Chain A
Amino acid sequence: ELKVEQNPLFLSMQEGKNYTIYCNYSTTSDRLYWYRQDPGKSLESLFVLLSNGAVKQEGRLMASLDTKARLSTLHITAAVHDLSATYFCAVDNYGGSQGNLIFGKGTKLSVKP
Chain B
Amino acid sequence: NAGVTQTPKFRVLKTGQSMTLLCAQDMNHEYMYWYRQDPGMGLRLIHYSVGEGTTAKGEVPDGYNVSRLKKQNFLLGLESAAPSQTSVYFCASSWRPGTVYGYTFGSGTRLTVV
> Residues on A close to B: CB < 8 A?
4, 9, 31, 33, 41-43, 45, 48, 50, 88, 90, 92, 94, 97-106
Partner pick for A103 among B31, B42, B50, B100, CB 8 A cutoff:
B42
Q: Which partner residue on chain A sits nearest B40 by CB separation?
A: A105
**B105 contacts A42, CB within 8 Å?**
yes
Number of A-B contacts (CB under 8 A): 61
A105 and B41 in contact, given A99-B98, A100-B48 (Cβ under 8 angstroms) = yes
List 5 other contacts, CB 8 Å, given A106-B40, A106-B42. A9-B40, A43-B43, A43-B90, A98-B50, A99-B31
Partner pick for B108 among A42, A48, A102, CB 8 A cutoff:
A42
Q: Which partner residue on chain A sits nearest B103 by CB separation?
A: A101
The interface residues of chain B lying within 8 Å CB-to-CB of A104 are 42
**B40 contacts A33, CB within 8 Å?**
no
The answer to whether the Cβ of B97 comes within 8 Å of any Cβ in the partner chain is: yes
**A97 contacts B50, CB within 8 Å?**
yes
The smallest beta-carbon distance between B110 and chain A, in angstroms, is: 8
CA distance A92 to B100 in the complex (A): 11
The smallest beta-carbon distance between A31 and chain B, in angstroms, is: 5
**B31 contacts A98, CB within 8 Å?**
yes
Centre residue among A9, A43, A92, A103 by max chain B CB count within 10 A: A43
